[in-house]
Structure 1
């Protein structure tokens, strides 16, 4: 995956702004159209309500996007992703991903793919290490 270019970020910002403005108008109702002024300029109160409605829509979008990210993380894990990949996808470390999604069922198969020490038995314990009394 790659990061968005500055132009792509600006385009996404414009698109999200348009979505927020559309939903703000829905949340605000048709107040702006219901109170037309003679000079066709919206009053300060109408402008304030418009911006507050855009804030409310943006906050709702933030929650929905967080849900989308979490659902995508769960689905990525089902297809074999681990914390390193989840962290990379959101621009964070493996540790940050583990803290953000602590209860994801990271596959035991994935853990078995991690590099094992010689003999595959762990660093302590068996007689091949030369310790007395090893089994």
Structure 2
């Protein structure tokens, strides 16, 4: 007797399905790459930030930050999310920030001041932002070359 107690050999059919798992893996990797690089592609005002050693600011990802920039000439610009404004006066910045903070009181305000702008210009801006209702104002800097 041939193969007593053994199972009869079955012939396997060729598999006609496409294995899509590797394609899904590649798609998810690309999704993560685009999610990480998308915030870096934002446009803004060219400002030479002072370089210093500082810890990163911990922020809520749910709330968009209000970024007020001061360029070398002392002109003010406001950025909310991906939207950037034209040059504004200090009073206009104060009004806009007050309107935004009245709608979302826990909004975060960050100041991006050019390295060559006068200290008094940044201080006046911060005083106006506090007067507009900003309870927490952060300063944006670049990491020093030693940390890069």
**Does the alignment reach a TM-score above 0.5?**
no
Report the structure, 1 or 2, having the larger strand content. Answer: 2
Report the structure, 1 or 2, having the larger helix content. Answer: 1
TM-score interval, normalised by the smaller of the two chains: under 0.3
Which one has more relative contact order, counting CA pairs under 8 Å at least 6 apart?
2
Larger radius of gyration: 2
Return the TM-score normalized by structure 1. Answer: 0.28
Return the TM-score normalized by structure 2. Answer: 0.26
